[in-house]
Structure 1
Amino acid sequence: MDELITFGLLCLTSFFTLINPLGTMPIFLTMTNDLSDQERKHTAKKASLVSFIIIIGFALSGQLLFKFFGISVNSFKVVGGVIFFMMGMDMLQARLSAVKIKKNEVKTYVNDISITPLAIPMICGPGAITNAIVLMEDANSYTKIIILLVTIAVIVFITYLILLSSTKIIKLIGQTGINVMMRLMGLIVMVIAVEFFFSGLKPIILDIIK
């Protein structure tokens, strides 16, 4: 029982940190600034659903895909670190600006941003995907697999609720608060990026040396 609780807490904390719904919120707010509440809700719902499907898909078949394409988890971490660092740099400098769209382009715009960049790579990024694959490898029983899948569903649902509440949060903390949060989360994302990059690069270099 203690082992299951420990595994469950590991899944919960790691996925919440890597998916980082609070860090996704400023990007969501910025990119949906001109959308109605219904359109914003649809965007959040689709982004969350796509993210859930992708994370579950990689958790169940990630190792098979990596073997089929000859990709290692370490290479995935290196690329993920680069992507995270670039995202963190933009967030740190608050480069994101409001996007102006035409009314006849709203539907296409909602479909576009709900998949990229909201679902991929903001919610379902390299960190979350890699974490799902690694934890599935550690899940040596059906109970642990169920715990992992339920945890993913819970975190994605929490992310959806945070995105839905983003308009209320921005009224509470204001645009200045959003900019401060974006810079802070950008710094954290860049730190995670460095950790990801070198944790993947080190084994690759050691293999080359050998």
Structure 2
Amino acid sequence: MNLAELINWRDIFTVSMILFAVIDIIGSIPIIVDLRSKIGHIQSEKATIVAAIIMIAFLFLGEEILKLIGIDANSFAVAGSFVLFFLALEMILGIRLYKEDNPTTASIVPIAFPLIAGAGTMTTLLSLRAEYAKINIIIAIIINVVVVYIVLKLSGKIEKILGPNGLGIIRKIFGIILLAISVKLFGANVKQLFI
């Protein structure tokens, strides 16, 4: 099967939406604005390129790392579904279960990692590998990186347009989508553990 036959636009759309919800760049606008006010200039290009490299590298090397420590993809997908579940709860309930250290510089840390390509994104990528073709995931990563770049460049304007209430509503909507995805991912992989 050649590369063109593996490309599935429905899968790309699904994976893009999953990654968009996990990365939650819209919900991160207040953090980005706060960083910009503390540090000044944020290197949007550098942050997005580094985040893309981290995500694509982890997509290919993540499974090898799992094999090295003796964990199968289904077990990791089930673990990933729990991470997504708690990320969704954070988004829906407006609580913070995971606390980040206070950043001192902005571009690679904390924007590229862990804001864009964080633990949730890494877990999601490996979980998605159990369900979707790599080429579709790579295209979805590129789509998300482009969206991230645009949001980083226009974060101040987006915050003014949406306002705190608009950002809150978007965050909750994507939280509910992420919750549904985590339940589906759990259901699809948990039965494989008992076969």
Match of 1:60 in 2: 60
Match of 1:200 in 2: 189
Highest CA radius of gyration, 1 or 2?
Answer: 1
SS at structure 2 position matched to 1:25: coil
Verify the 8 A CA contact 1:85 1:193 in the aligned structure 2: yes
TM-superposed CA distance for 1:132, in Å, is 4.7
Give 5+ residue unaligned stretches, structure 2: none
Distance 1:77 1:5, change over 3 A: same
Verify the 8 A CA contact 1:89 1:190 in the aligned structure 2: yes
- Counterpart of 1:199 in structure 2: which amino acid? A
Aligned residues: 190
Give the share of equivalent positions with the same residue, in percent.
21
Match of 1:130 in 2: 127
Match of 2:169 in 1: 180
Distance 1:155 1:26, change over 3 A: closer
TM-superposed CA distance for 1:185, in Å, is 1.0
Verify the 8 A CA contact 1:77 1:197 in the aligned structure 2: yes
Match of 2:71 in 1: 71
RMSD value, Cα: 3.6
Match of 1:48 in 2: 48
Distance 1:63 1:160, change over 3 A: same
Deviates further, 60-69 or 175-184: 60-69
Match of 2:109 in 1: 111
User: 1: CA distance between counterparts of 2:107 and 2:58?
Assistant: 27
Distance 1:108 1:163, change over 3 A: closer
Verify the 8 A CA contact 1:28 1:163 in the aligned structure 2: no
Match of 2:118 in 1: 120
Greater percentage in helix: 1
TM-superposed CA distance for 1:60, in Å, is 2.9
TM-score normalized by the length of structure 2: 0.76
Runs of 4 or more, structure 1, over 4 Å off, are 37-40, 44-47, 147-151
Distance 1:30 1:168, change over 3 A: same
